Amino acid sequence: MTLVVAGRFLLIFVAARLLAELLVRLQLPTILGELLAGVLIGVSGLHLVVPPESGVAVAPWLVQLFSGLGAVSPEQVLQLSAESYPFLQAVASIGLYALLFLTGLESELDELIAVGVQASSVALAGVVLPFALGSLGLIGFFHVELIPAVFAGASMTATSIGITANVFGELGMLRSREGQIVLGAAVLDDILGIVILAVVVALASGDGLQWAPILQLLLAAAAFVVAAIGLSRTVTPSFDALVDQLRAPGEMVVASFVVLCLCCFAATAIGLEAALGAFAAGLILSNSRHTEAIQETVKPLVSLFATIFFVLIGTAMDLSVLNPVDPANRSGLVVAAFLLVVAIAGKLVTGWSFLSDQPTNRLVVGLGMMPRGEVGLIFLGLGSAAGLLTPSLEAGILLMVIGTTFLAPLLLRLSYSWASAGLPSIDPALQPASTTDVD
């Protein structure tokens, strides 16, 4: 068992790191590298790590290698591979919850309030437009069924705070007006997106779309988030006082994990996704005096286990459904192209969705809202796991996530270097993007 598990961890981490390091050097988000690593070693690639339910066989040379090294028969290696897959998934889900917790933790609720009106307008537009255009378009033009269409629409609502914050930081624009609006809107988008996710997944496991349960779940999810924000103001000081009293080592990470488990427990108890609970736990502790210490202890968990989550998403993707040579794939390709266009356009126009009495680079705001990154992937991962998506819709969402995550940093740098001459909201002392290369 251990040989196969250790071998798989090695494959996953080495592939993910090689590609992440490559993409960092290309100034692209590392998450794309982890995803591509999964595609490379998975169902659409070398068949080194494949989900048992895919029916794809593990590459024979790898089976032979494990069989030879472990002194077990090839059949046993195949069985161990299949049996250990739920273990990988369980570890990946710890990474997912830790990542959502960290996302909530890094939400600057106070800064959000400072740019509240513009950010809310951008966020709302950035959720409603892709969701409505995506879902209705899939149903109207492509006759996709209701639940998968709604889910695909929902997967386009999120904005990756991490990727946007990285690029803005690199360009020195984090504290600019555009940067503040985008980050504020991204936080709101996360909240709205995860509420939608919690509702859609809960509905999908029920009896289809009916208004009463939708309303009930939406209210429950909204109340959950509002309660979390309220608790972050009221209960967090008690949490801090309690942590200060703890003396057994590792108190910070365990106390945070207890809050995380409590919130996941509460979320599932009222019929919502545990993912919402994990995010809410982060929101609650985002107001703690110990936020930075908590981040430091949670980050290693995210680095290890969220990597596995993203790689596993990649391994499960069957990209052959997008092979343009096969005529049967044409409709799937059109759907994928449609999703990508809606995902780009639906966020780009948010730059023009607000009134402003100050000069603001609206293109930068729209581009900043574009990358779906890890949050889009969480939607994809949970939707796949719940069996809500067809292979071609899965591949389409994957392309949409990759496309927006890949294009946003490139276009942001480009638009910045065009605009850096004149716009007053950008600090003129800063150099154009090309010279801020970390090299």
Q: Please give the residue ranges that form the binding site for its own copies (CB under 8 A).
A: 2-3, 6-7, 9-10, 13-14, 17, 20-21, 23-25, 30, 33, 69-71, 86-87, 90-91, 94, 246-251, 253-255, 257-258, 261-262, 264-265, 268-269, 271, 274, 277, 296-304, 307, 438
Pairwise CA distance, residues 236 & 246, whole Å: 15
Least distance CB 248 / its own copies (angstroms) = 4
**Residue-by-residue DSSP string for 356-370:** -SS---HHHHHHHT-
101/131 with CB nearer its own copies: 101
Which residue's CB is nearer to its own copies, number 27 or number 360?
27
Count of CB atoms situated within 10 Å of the CB of 141: 11
Query: Whose Cβ is closer to its own copies: residue 20's or residue 156's?
Result: 20
Task: Please name the residue that has the structure tokens 């939708």.
Answer: 214
User: Nearest distance from residue 273's CB to its own copies, in Å?
Assistant: 8
Q: Which amino acid is at 404?
A: T
- DSSP for residue 206: T
Residue with smaller CB distance to its own copies, 244 or 427: 244
Smallest gap from Cβ 8 to its own copies, in A, equals 9
Instruction: Work out how close the CB of 205 gets to its own copies at its nearest, in angstroms, rounded to a whole number.
Output: 11
Spatial distance between the Cα atoms of 11 and 311, rounded to a whole number of angstroms: 10
Closer Cβ to its own copies, 223 or 258, answer by number: 258
**How many Cα atoms are found within 13 Å in the side-chain-facing hemisphere of 334?**
11
Q: Which is nearer to its own copies, 272 or 365 (CB)?
A: 272
111: amino acid identity, one letter: E
How many angstroms separate the Cα of 395 from the Cα of each of 46, 82, 219, 316? 18, 23, 32, 10
Shortest Å, Cβ 307 to its own copies: 7
Q: Could you give the dihedral angle defined by the CA atoms of residues 206, 212, 216 and 218, in that order, rounded to the nearest 10 degrees?
A: 80
Contact status, residue 382 vs residue 275, Cβ threshold 8 Å: yes
Contacts for 75 with CB less than 8 Å, ≥ 6 apart: none
**Nearest-angstrom CA–CA distance, 270 and 224:** 9
Q: How far is the CB of 33 from its own copies (least distance, A)?
A: 7
Q: Identify which of residues 275 and 367 has a Cβ nearer to its own copies in the complex.
A: 275
Could you tell me the smallest distance in angstroms from the CB atom of residue 30 to its own copies? 5
